[in-house]
Amino acid sequence: MSEAPLDLLVFGPHPDDLEIGMAGTIARYAAEGRRVGLCDLTRGEMGSNGSPEERVAEADAARAVLGAAVRINLGLPDGWMHPDDPEHVRIVAECIRRLRPRTIAAPYWRDRHPDHVTASRLITHAAFKSGLRRYTTAAGEPWRADWVCYYFINNDAPPSFVVDVSAHYARKREALACHRSQFAPAGVDAAATRLTSPLFAQLVETRDAQFGARAGVQFAEGFIVREPLLRPNLLKPWPAQGPATP
């Protein structure tokens, strides 16, 4: 199946991870008319709450809230992804070649959850392989994204840059609420987890508020890139204003 190229392709290890890290940025870019795609690597079948079918349905509901053009699930084995498994790399590389994103977003490579670390390495590996002319996949021509950016799920670090998501933060909250099986599971079999505590939502919002406050806005999401960022000069891009008063 041929797809129109994407401006942004966001990968998440499990359904709900990409919303935790950068749902505000996704909502902002979609609202600006950018073509945004979302890709969950697994169906989260190792999670304490929610069936794989529930989690995929919740992810699609969140996609509609955020306005993303497409959301797919690659069905890799939850808990058993490997960045050097040739088949896993090939599956992700084929996804990149088919969707042809200008920018790829992947989880930050340092995180308390081993799957998030593995996913970061796997996506980085596949993004590189995707651009090699002699690397063969079942579908798609070689494709090299302009760059790979890394977003935070659990851990964070001083970001390379932040994106102002203040005007779209309500969408982030709404998208996270779509994942009811993870944040508000019902039934006698529901297990208490780190995600079900209201302190987890507080942790996410506190991080986004801190990034925002440091940049002079209400909420911002942080990103890390491995290469230097090119600036035209040393002047800070202040809002347009008249000449200075003598």
Q: What are 128-149's pLDDT values in tens digits?
A: 999 999 999 998 899 999 999 9
% the chain with pLDDT above 90: 88
Name the CATH superfamily housing domain 6-224: LmbE-like (3.40.50.10320)
Beta strands in the chain (DSSP E): 6-12, 36-42, 70-76, 101-107, 147-151, 161-164, 220-224
Mind listing the pLDDT tens digit for each residue in 43-59? 999 999 999 999 999 99
Q: What are the φ and ψ backbone dihedral angles of 5, each rounded to 5 degrees?
A: -60, 150
Report how far residue 167's alpha carbon sits from residue 170's, in angstroms, rounded to the nearest whole number: 8
Task: Name, in order, each residue with C-beta under 8 angstroms of 118's C-beta and a sequence gap of 6 or more.
Answer: 13, 81, 82, 83
Q: How confident is the model at residue 1 (pLDDT cuts 50, 70, 90)?
A: very low
Q: What mean pLDDT is reported for the chain?
A: 94
CA distance 45 to 78: 6
Is the confidence at residue 113, as pLDDT, over 70? Answer: yes
In this prediction, residue 189 carries a pLDDT of: 87
Joined together, the tokens standing for residue 39 give: 């890709």
Other beta carbons within 10 angstroms of residue 156's beta carbon come to 17
Higher pLDDT, 239 or 106: 106
Tell me the pLDDT tens digit for each residue of 179-212. 999 999 988 889 999 999 999 999 999 999 999 9
| 29 half-sphere exposure, CB direction, 13 A CA radius | 20
Q: What is the DSSP string of 73-115?
A: EEEEPTT---TT-HHHHHHHHHHHHHH-EEEEEEE-S--SSHH
Q: Describe the strand order of the beta sheet including 70-76 as a list of residue ranges.
A: 70-76, 36-42, 6-12, 101-107, 147-151, 220-224, 161-164
Q: How far apart are CA 2 and CA 172, in angstroms?
A: 29
